[in-house]
Structure 1
Amino acid sequence: MSSFPPALAHNAIEEVLPDVFLVSGAMETVLMDMDWNFSRNMTIVRDGERLILINTVRLSDEGLAALDKLGKVTDVVRLGALHGRDDAFYLDRYQARYWVMPGLAPEDGTPAQLLGEGGASPLPGATVFQFHTSNIPEGVLYLNRDGGILIACDALQNWLNPDEHFCDASRQRMEEMGFFTPANIGPVWLQAAEPEAEDFTRLSELEFQHVLCGHGQPLLETAREDFSATFRRLFPS
């Protein structure tokens, strides 16, 4: 266990929809030769006794105990190229199955099942939306229940304001970059991925009410309307 990145500060696990949980924690990294401290989210979906982890965040011992009370971790899902720091920890601890978007298969040979549109999924009734025009792999997991739930990584974000996991320098930089915008497309992801409008047209055609993102607060009930307005704003016809 000591070979894995350490657990960082995080909040308690919260049930935001029936059998769908979210935990927000810290991320520390170096980008553009600068230190960054900001928050990120892990989504946990319970299917009977099984737990499926999406956008993993390593939890403390106390957090792991709370996780284990929810069920048994059986699957880990990586939706985006810019996440994955803590996947190996959970794969090792729980001997879980690993699901990744095409293009994200581990280089060390760790067995992984490819996600993809029309392909297998770790959850009954769940499907995968794949960005076709992005320069980097990215997907969204669609749960056809409770009015439709999207579980996103970096492409969709809903950061309303900086939280306790931000340092002052990161907060200031990210305010200037437009991160704290409701129902947003991630600014760094947008710059790196260079997606085209057609992907977001396809995404807005899905029936959904809720979006849980890799960054920011859950957007419940009005997610389709709010994100569709953002897509039209950023990709005017």
Structure 2
Amino acid sequence: MEMSVTSPFPPALAHGAIEEVFTDVYFVSGAMETVLMDMDWQFSRNMTIVRDGERLILINTVRLDDQGLAQLDRLGKVTDVIRLGALHGRDDAFYVDRYQARHWVMPGIEASDAMGSRPLDQASPLPISDASLFRFETSNVPEGILNLQRDGGILIACDALQNWLSPDEHFCDETRHRMEGMGFFTPANVGPVWLQAAEPAAEDFRRLAALNFRHALCGHGAPLLDSAHGQFSATFNRMFQC
């Protein structure tokens, strides 16, 4: 009689294929299921994959199924996993275990001894050679953004910056209705739930608008290409008068 083996990690949920957005920068969207405010939610989230030489760095992890993992393995070797936001991280342990990858977290996020987590430090080298780290200094919850110095500047964000244009196939009807009423489906947006939890001050967004970038790949929503700086700057000005 065969015994079933229970995985210690959350299962893979529905997701799409890995797509190359820029040379050596990839993006994949999948489902998230969680309970918030005593209600079930199902919505989409994104993982960004950066190739640096032969190495792959995963940001905002989304667990892939076997077919997706095979596609990932054809791109290179996963060596690092980056957690930019306190509200993400569900699938980090799966990738750290599978690839014996290094785990990087924003300061203030409780590091995992089991994963050997280490803090992202603005003063120390990052696991991506041509990236810099932006840290929200006034936020109640830890949150960072990577600025990848490629193709005119690519921001890789978690929850603070979002670009949900409309619900996609990873939403359930109940979640879609709730989030429509909460203003989630707004281009170049500051994440509504993150904003409520983080209570950031305008000065963080002044510093963010001062960065040089053209594109944004966020933890939620579609890639925002070419016009990201102008669109997000307009949002910051509208919301924070900066």
> What TM-score bracket applies, with the shorter chain setting the length?
over 0.9
Unmatched 5+ stretches in structure 1: none
Match of 1:79 in 2: 84
Q: What secondary structure does 2:62 align onto?
A: coil
Superposed displacement of residue 108, structure 1 = 4.3
Matched, 1:14 2:19: yes
CA contact (8 A) 2:111 2:118 kept: no
- Distance (Å, rounded) in 1 between the aligned partners of 2:216 and 2:121: 19
Write the mapping of 1:1-237 to structure 2, written as runs, cut at 5 A.
2-236=7-241
- Distance (Å, rounded) in 2 between the aligned partners of 1:6 and 1:102: 27
Q: What secondary structure does 1:29 align onto?
A: strand
One-letter amino acid matched to 2:65: S
- Distance (Å, rounded) in 2 between the aligned partners of 1:235 and 1:105: 29
- Distance (Å, rounded) in 2 between the aligned partners of 1:184 and 1:27: 20
- Distance (Å, rounded) in 1 between the aligned partners of 2:212 and 2:14: 35
Report how many aligned residue pairs link the two structures. Answer: 237
One-letter amino acid matched to 1:175: E
One-letter amino acid matched to 1:154: D
CA contact (8 A) 2:147 2:153 kept: yes
CA contact (8 A) 2:60 2:89 kept: yes
Q: What secondary structure does 1:227 align onto?
A: helix
- Distance (Å, rounded) in 2 between the aligned partners of 1:182 and 1:17: 21
Q: What secondary structure does 1:191 align onto?
A: helix
Show structure 1 runs of 4+ deviating over 4 A. none
Tell me the C-alpha RMSD between the 2 structures.
1.0
Match of 2:3 in 1: none
- Distance (Å, rounded) in 1 between the aligned partners of 2:145 and 2:123: 13
Unmatched 5+ stretches in structure 2: 1-5
- Distance (Å, rounded) in 2 between the aligned partners of 1:12 and 1:67: 10
Q: Provide Cα deviations, 1:28-65, integer angstroms capped at 9, x if missing partner.
A: 00001100000000000011110000000000000000
Superposed displacement of residue 200, structure 1 = 0.4
- Distance (Å, rounded) in 1 between the aligned partners of 2:114 and 2:79: 19
Superposed displacement of residue 107, structure 1 = 4.4
Superposed displacement of residue 9, structure 1 = 0.2
One-letter amino acid matched to 2:39: M
One-letter amino acid matched to 1:155: A
- Distance (Å, rounded) in 1 between the aligned partners of 2:124 and 2:239: 30
